[in-house]
Structure 1
Amino acid sequence: MTTDQPVHPHSTSPSPSSVRERIATTLERARARSTLLTDAVDEGDLVAQHSPLMSPLVWDLAHIGNQEELWLVRDVGGREPLRADIDELYDAFQHPRATRPRLPLLGPREARDYVRVVRDKTLDVLDATPLEGAPLIEGGFAFGMIAQHEQQHDETMLATHQLRRGEPVLADPEPPRARADATGRVVVTAGPCEIGTDHEPWALDNERPAHTMWIDEFAIARAPVTCGEYVEFIADGGYERPALWSSEGWQYRQDASLAAPLFWRREGEQWWRRRFGRDEPVPVDEPVMHVCFHEAEAFARWAGARLPTEHEWEKAARFDPATGRSRRYPWGDANPTAEHANLGQRHVRPAPVGAYPAGASPLGVQQLIGDVWEWTSSHFLPYPGFRFFPYAEYSEVFFGPDHRVLRGGSFGTDEVAIRGTFRNWDYPIRRQIFAGLRLAWDTGSAGPR
C-alpha cells in the first residue's frame, strides 16, 4: 500500500513529512519498474530498435534520468549539471523515435550509472526542499511530475516489450476472474458536472482548471468492448464495409491493410494473439486492445453506438448523483488498490470484464480505470482558462485536431499516472498502445437547463 493521501475539496492538507514519504515511495516504485523492464533483457535488446514507432529501451532509460536531472537536480535543487553534454541527445523534440538508434547514446552500463547518480542527488534535493511557496515545488509538484514521467515511459517501454521478438521475459500472474455482471448499459442523466481539477496537487496542466459543463443525457456501456464482441465485428465483415468507417479511417484501413487488432492472427476457426512473447487463443471475455481510433469508431458504428466524448466519459467515471460532486476515481476519493483496478503492471494483460466490482462508479459502470485505455471521440483541446505549466511542450503543442483523447489508463499504467481527470492523447492511427473502447449512445433527452 502506498502512503498517498486522498486530495479533494473537503480534505485537510497532508503534512510535509507525509508528502516527502509519498514522493520517496513513488519515485522508488517507478525506478523499481524501470529497472525490471531494462534488466529483463540482454544488452542487445536494450540497444535494438524493436519498431520504428519506439525508441531503444536504453534511450528511454537515460531520457528518464536526464529529465529528472533537468527538473529536480538542476531546477529545483539548483545543483551543477551532471551531464549537460547529453541534454540534446535525450530531448524528445529534437529527435524522432525512428532516428534515435543512430545517435551516440549512452550504453547500458553508462545509462544505469547515470540514472543511479541522478537519483541519489534527487533524494538529497528532496530532503532540502521546503515543498511550499513556488508553484513548481508546492505540494511536491515537480517530484510528482517526474514520477509520472518515469511511469509513462515505463508504460512505453512495456509497449516496446510487446513489440520485441523472442521468448517471454516478464512475469505473467493471472488477473482476477469475473466477479460481477458487467453487461448492458446505464443512463447518465442530463445536468451539470465538474470536469477537471483544481485540487489534485500532482495533476498536469491539461487537467486544469476545474470547470462546470452541462452534459446532455446519454447511455454508456457498463464494461469495455470485449475480444469476443470484436470477433463478431470481424466475422460480420466489419473490415470490409466502407459505410462503417469515416473516409479518413477507411483510407487508413486500406493503406495499412487492417483486418484485425494488432498482434492477432487467425488459424482455421480460432483467433490467436501474441502477447509479450506468448502465443495464446484470443480470450473472449477480456477487453479488446491494440485497436486504433478508426477501428474503435467503426466498431461503434457497427454496434449501433458511438464513442463517448471525453467529458461524457469523465462524468460517467467521477460524478456521484447522490452528492452532486465529482470524485477523484469512480469508487471515491481513496487511492487505487488491487481490489479497485488492474494497474501498475501487476498483470501483463487486461482482466476479464466484471473482475473489479469494487472499482465501479456510483452508476455501476465498471473498469473505467485500468485494463485498457479507452478511445473517446474528442480531439485534444485545452480547457477554458488553460495555462501551460511548467512548460508548453508537455500539452500545449499537441492541442488541435491531430490527436484524439484516451481515458482511464491500462494494466500498464501506474496509479500515480492515472486519475479520473487524467487525459492521454495520441494519433488516431496508433495501435501499439494498450487501447480499447467503450460504447456510448444518444438517448434523445437533453433535460432541463
Structure 2
Amino acid sequence: MNLSEEYLLIRKHSEEICEPLQTEDYVVQPIVDVSPPKWHLGHTTWFFETFILKPFSPEYQEFNPDYNYVFNSYYETVGTRVIRTDRGNLSRPSVNEVYQYRAYVDEAMAKLLSCPVDEKLTELLLLGFNHEQQHQELLLTDIKYILGNNPLFPVYDINWKDKSLPSSEPQMIAVPEGVYEVGYSGNGFCFDNELSRHKVYLQNFAISTALVTNGEYLDFIEAGGYKNFSLWHAEGWDWVNNNQIVAPMYWSKIDDAWFNYTLNGLQSIDLKAPVTHVSYYEAYAFASWKGLRLPTEFEWEIAAQQLNWGARWEWTESAYLPYPGFSKAPGALGEYNGKFMVNQKVLRGASVATPQGHERSTYRNFFHPHLRWQFTGIRLAK
C-alpha cells in the first residue's frame, strides 16, 4: 500500500466511526476529558493542514484561517486556541462545514501525494497517520461516554462486535530475573516516548495470562472492596469517597441485578468478559484485595513477547517518565509526548477501540490515575 492509499484508508475510517451518529451527537462535551466528535474530525484535519500542507505545498490556501484557533489542541508553538473545556460550545463550524474541511484538505493531500515525497515528508506523514489513529481510538471512546451518559442509553451500533478475546482461565507464568532490553527496535514507525531502546534489570516475577473478568471484579465489590480503606492509596480512597464510586464506569444496579452500558446499549453484565473502564486506583485496590499487584510496564513488555494479549489498555505500576536518552523534537512536534511526562501512569496493550495495525508491545499510553473513560483493564502480577 502506498502513502496515498494509506492516507485515504485512515481518513475514511474516522468518518466510518461517526456514521452511526445523529447530528446532535457530534457536538456534545459532557466532561473535560471528552471532546465532541466534530472536534476530533476537525483537529485531525488541521494536523495535516498545519504540519504538512502549509510547509510542503507552496500553493496551498487555508480552508479557513480561524480554524487554527478552533482545532489546535495543545500546541503552544502554533498559537492560541480554544480552551479544552469550551470545545462543546462550538456550535460553529457546523458538522457539514467540518466535513467540507476534511474533503478540502483530502483533495490537497491527494495532489501533494501524487508527486514523489522525500524522507522528511514521509516521516511527518507517518506521524499524521498514527496521530489520526490515536484520535480514532479517542473518538470511539468519547462517543461511548457521550451516549453512555444519556439517560436513554442509546445504541451506538446494534451490529457492533467487541473484537477483544474472551478471557481464558488465568495462569501465572514465571519470568526469571535478568537483564532485558525494552523499547522500540526496528525500521517502522514508533512514537518518541518508545525510544530509546535500553536495558533494564528485572527481579523474578510472575504475571497472569488473562485479564481480570467482570465476575472477579463483582466478587471484589460484593466483598466490600469499595468500603475497605486499607486496600486503597490515600488519594484513591479520597477519590472513592468524594465521587461516591461503587463500581466501574457504566455499571448500574437495577432491581438487584448489575448491568453495564456497551456500544450495543445497556446489557446484563457478562461475567466472563474482561472488566473495563476502571481507574488506576481501582486496579490497585483490586490487586491488593487479591494479595497481588499490577505489573510494571517493563514486566508487561517482556512478558508480552511470550503471550498474545492487549485486549484492553492495561494499567501498570509505572510512572510515565522519559526513557534514557529521550529528547524532544524541535518545534511544535516536540510537544507531542514529552511535556506530559509528569503525574501520570503508563498503560500498555491496546483496546477494542484501537485501529487495526496501531498496536504494538512497546506502545506507551498514559493517563492520570483517576481516569477511566478509556477502555482500561487489569492484569495481575506477583
Alignment TM-score, normalising by the size of structure 2: 0.90
Instruction: Trace 1:237-316 onto structure 2 (pairs within 5 A).
Output: 237-276=224-263, 278-316=265-303
Query: Against the structure 1 CA distance between its residues 26 and 237, is the aligned structure 2 distance closer, same or farther, given a 3 Å change threshold?
Result: farther
Distance change >3 Å, CA 127–CA 416, structure 1 → 2: farther
Structure 1 unmatched runs, 5+? 4-20, 319-360, 442-449
Partner of residue 72 from structure 2, selected from 86, 91, 100: 91
Q: Structure 1 residue 142: deviation in Å?
A: 1.4
Structure 2 unpaired stretches of 5+: 75-80
Q: 1:25 to 1:228 in 2, by over 3 A?
A: farther
Q: CA-to-partner distance for each residue in 1:350-406, whole Å, 9 max, x for gaps?
A: xxxxxxxxxxx3xxx342x3x210001111100000012362211111012x11111
Question: Is the 8 Å Cα contact of residues 26 and 416 (structure 1) preserved in structure 2?
Answer: no
Give, in angstroms, the shift of residue 285 of structure 1. Answer: 1.0
Q: Is the 8 A contact 1:190 1:217 kept in 2?
A: yes
Moved over 4 A (4+): 173-181
Of 217, 222, 226 in structure 1, the residue corresponding to residue 209 of structure 2 is 222
Q: Is the 8 A contact 1:73 1:79 kept in 2?
A: no
Distance 2:321 2:165 in 1: 36
Q: Quick one: structure 1 residues 378 and 173, their matched pair in 2 at CA, closer, same or farther if it must change by over 3 Å?
A: same
Q: Which amino acid aligns with 1:418?
A: E
Letter in 2 for 1:89: V
| Residue 143 of structure 2: aligned partner | 161
Instruction: Report if aligned partners of 1:65, 1:118 keep a CA contact under 8 Å in 2.
Output: yes
Contact 1:292 1:429 in 2 (8 A): yes
**Residue among 301, 321, 336 paired with 1:394:** 336
Partners of 2:220 and 2:289 within 8 A in 1: yes
Opposite residue 129 of structure 2, the aligned amino acid is A
Alignment of 1:37 with 2:37, yes or no, is: no
- What secondary structure, in the 3-state scheme, does the structure 2 residue paired with 1:88 have? helix
Amino acid aligned to 1:161 = I
2:133 maps to which residue?
151
Name the SS of the counterpart of 2:323 in structure 1.
coil
Q: Give the count of matched residue pairs.
A: 368
Instruction: Find the aligned partners of 2:168 and 2:275 in 1 and give their Cα distance.
Output: 18
**Equivalent position SS for 1:421:** coil
Residue 128 of structure 1 aligns to a residue in which SS? Answer: coil
Identity %: 30
Corresponding residue for residue 359 of structure 2 = 418
Deviation at 1:173, TM superposition (A): 4.5
**What is the distance in 2 between the residues matched to 1:407 and 1:291?**
14
Map of 1:406 onto structure 2: 347
Match 1:207 to one of 167, 176, 194: 194
Give the CA deviation at 1:278.
1.0
SS in 1 for 2:334: coil
Q: CA deviation at 1:104?
A: 6.5
Distance in 1 of aligned mates of 2:164 and 2:40: 34
State how 1:330-369 maps to structure 2 within 5 Å: 361=306, 365-367=307-309, 369=310
What amino acid maps onto 1:414 in structure 2? P
Return closer, same or farther for 1:181/1:101 CA change in 2, 3 Å cut-off. Answer: closer
Q: Of Structure 1 and Structure 2, which has the larger fraction of its residues in helix?
A: 2
CA–CA separation in structure 2 for the residues paired with 1:265 and 1:418: 31
CA distance in 2, matches of 1:49, 1:185: 41
Q: Given the alignment of the two structures, is residue 100 of structure 1 paired with residue 87 of structure 2, yes or no?
A: yes
- Work out the CA distance in 1 between the residues paired with 2:105 and 2:165: 43
CA drift of 1:95 comes to: 3.6
The structural deviation recorded for 1:25 is 3.9
2:6 to 26, 43, 46: 26
Preserved contact between residue 264 and residue 272 of structure 1 (Cα < 8 Å):
yes
CA distance in 1, matches of 2:290, 2:83: 37
3-state SS of 1:26 partner? helix
Corresponding residue SS for 2:314:
strand
Q: Secondary structure at the match of 2:66?
A: helix
Amino acid at match of 1:99: D
CA RMSD of aligned residues (A): 2.1
Are the counterparts in 2 of residues 62 and 106 from structure 1 also a CA contact under 8 Å?
Answer: no
Q: Determine if contact 2:168/2:210 at 8 Å carries over to the other structure.
A: no
**What does residue 128 of structure 1 align with?**
115
Matched residue of 1:440: which SS? Answer: coil
SS in 1 for 2:41: helix
Q: For 1:172 and 1:57, locate their aligned partners in 2 and report how far apart those are by CA, in whole Å.
A: 20
1: CA distance, partners of 2:337 / 2:164? 37
Partner Cα distance (1:121, 1:255) in 2: 50
| Structure 2 contact 214–273 (Cα < 8 Å) conserved | yes
Q: Is the 8 A contact 2:344 2:368 kept in 1?
A: yes
Counterpart contact for 1:148–1:416, Cα < 8 Å: no
Offset at 1:306?
A: 0.6
What is the match of residue 219 of structure 2?
Answer: 232
- Greater mean deviation of Cα atoms: 123-132 or 390-399: 123-132
Provide the secondary structure at the position in 1 that maps to 2:70: coil
CA distance in 2, matches of 1:255, 1:294: 13
